[in-house]
Amino acid sequence: MIIVLRPDATQEQIKHIVEKVKKLGLKPMISRGTERTIIGVIGEEDIIRVQPLEVFPGVEKVMPILKPFKLVSRDFKKEDTVIDLGNNVKIGGKRLIMMAGPCSVENRKVLLKTAKAVKKAGATVLRGGAYKPRTSPYSFQGLGEKGLKMLAEARKETGLLIVTEIMDTKDVALFEKYADIVQVGARNMQNFNLLKEVGKMSRPVLLKRGMSSTIKEFLMSAEYILSEGNFNVILCERGIRTFEDYTRFTLDVNAIPAIKSLSHLPIIVDPSHATGKWGLVPAASRAAVAAGCDGLIVEVHPNPEEALSDGTQSLLPEKFEALMQELRKVAEAVGREI
């Protein structure tokens, strides 16, 4: 249920309503828009039906949210959410945000080299996994905290923000310390305990779509994070499982406009995991930008042949730089900028 306040509602009136909602044993979530404030009410809706909240001063109307996702929905918040990632980098506005870097943090040298190259090409966020969700327990599992420290060093050296994947609730404090954006990977999209924990974090969360998840399930996972109070969620379409096996996954371009209409949250695209082939990454990236995404996360490696993970889908730095040039034109054609 959402309580839409009048544009002239006072702080006192808002406080009064919030207190009333809490007294009823429900959880109020305040969203302050540019025009008006909305209070989302989470909990057993029947309780509130017996309370005529419409009569409270400052209230314009009370509406049920019929969709299962509430806080993430456009009904709850009409305007696009713009998230301040730090360093004056904002996602969800006119400018697209480019995140790039190796699949895994492998060593200082490769990481710093990649970081400098992607920064030069125009990226503002460095990606790199220190805890890797690998299909095989015998594959490289990541450097752990050592890898997080290398990412922090790369941030210091380049000024890039860091996005890196969390796999375990016990690592929350570490990620608060080292990451600017905390990534929840496709395989953990429905790890509800992890979603609740990152929902309590102070860092923005990059939530990747599960490879076999519907758009509705994806948004319900985001709802878990918002319901714990963290409204800074960036969604990421990264390809889904289909019958096609020529590519690693199938990029669901439909998901971009669909999610834009259903939710106010920013959505980015990962063309690297979606295709699994570096040669397909540029076309998938162009399609994603044309379809209205808010940014991309791209795997880049200075020596893909030697990469410890996902070399086949990693772009060489010069290929990434060329892609950035192309994307600037596509972005301009759809009223955006990079």
Contacts with Mn ion by CB under 5 A lie at 103, 310
Q: Tell me: does residue 238 bind ligand PEP (CB under 6 A).
A: yes
- 10 Å Cβ neighbour count for 112? 16
Residue in 77, 248, 260, 273 binding ligand PEP, rule: CB under 6 A: 273
243 contacts 213 by C-beta, under 8 angstroms: no
125 contacts 114 by C-beta, under 8 angstroms: no
Q: Which of the stretches 25-33, 43-51, 138-146, 185-193 binds ligand PEP when contact is defined by CB under 6 A?
A: 185-193
Name which of ligand PEP, Mn ion, none residue 238 binds, using a CB cut-off of 5 to 8 Å depending on partner kind: ligand PEP
Residue in 91, 123, 151, 186 binding ligand PEP, rule: CB under 6 A: 186
Residue with tokens 């994806």: 218
Q: Is 18 exposed, middle or buried (0-12, 13-18, 19+ CB in 10 A)?
A: middle
Q: Which of residues 101-120 bind ligand PEP (CB under 6 A)?
A: 103
Closer residue to ligand PEP, CB minimum distance, 59 or 166 = 166
Closer residue to Mn ion, CB minimum distance, 3 or 189 = 189
Name which of ligand PEP, Mn ion, none residue 117 binds, using a CB cut-off of 5 to 8 Å depending on partner kind: none
Q: CA-CA distance, 182 to 222, in Å (whole number)? A: 13
213 contacts 219 by C-beta, under 8 angstroms: no
Can you list the alpha helix ranges (DSSP code H) found in the chain? Answer: 11-23, 45-49, 108-121, 145-158, 172-178, 192-198, 215-227, 255-262, 271-275, 281-290, 317-333
Closer residue to ligand PEP, CB minimum distance, 76 or 178 = 178
Nearest alpha-carbon partner for 80 in 14, 30, 34, 29: 34
Q: Tell me: does residue 212 bind ligand PEP (CB under 6 A).
A: no
Residue 299 CB, nearest approach to ligand PEP (Å): 7
Closer residue to Mn ion, CB minimum distance, 252 or 310 = 310
Query: In this structure, is the dihedral angle defined by the CA atoms of residues 168, 170, 172 and 178, taken in order, positive or negative?
Result: negative
Q: Which residue is nearest to Mn ion (CB)?
A: 103
Q: Which of residues 10-69 bind ligand PEP (CB under 6 A)?
A: none
Residue 309 CB, nearest approach to Mn ion (Å): 6
Q: Tell me: does residue 233 bind ligand PEP (CB under 6 A).
A: no
Name which of ligand PEP, Mn ion, none residue 186 binds, using a CB cut-off of 5 to 8 Å depending on partner kind: ligand PEP
Q: What mask, x for binding ligand PEP by CB under 6 A, covers residues 128 to 147?
A: -x---x--------------
Closer residue to ligand PEP, CB minimum distance, 56 or 140 = 140
Q: CA-CA distance, 296 to 41, in Å (whole number)? A: 33
Between the two ends of the chain, the Cα-to-Cα distance in Å is 37
Name which of Mn ion, ligand PEP, none residue 208 binds, using a CB cut-off of 5 to 8 Å depending on partner kind: ligand PEP
Which structure tokens are listed for 250? 């199938």
Closer residue to Mn ion, CB minimum distance, 103 or 143 = 103
- The helix/strand count (H/E) of the chain reads as 11, 14
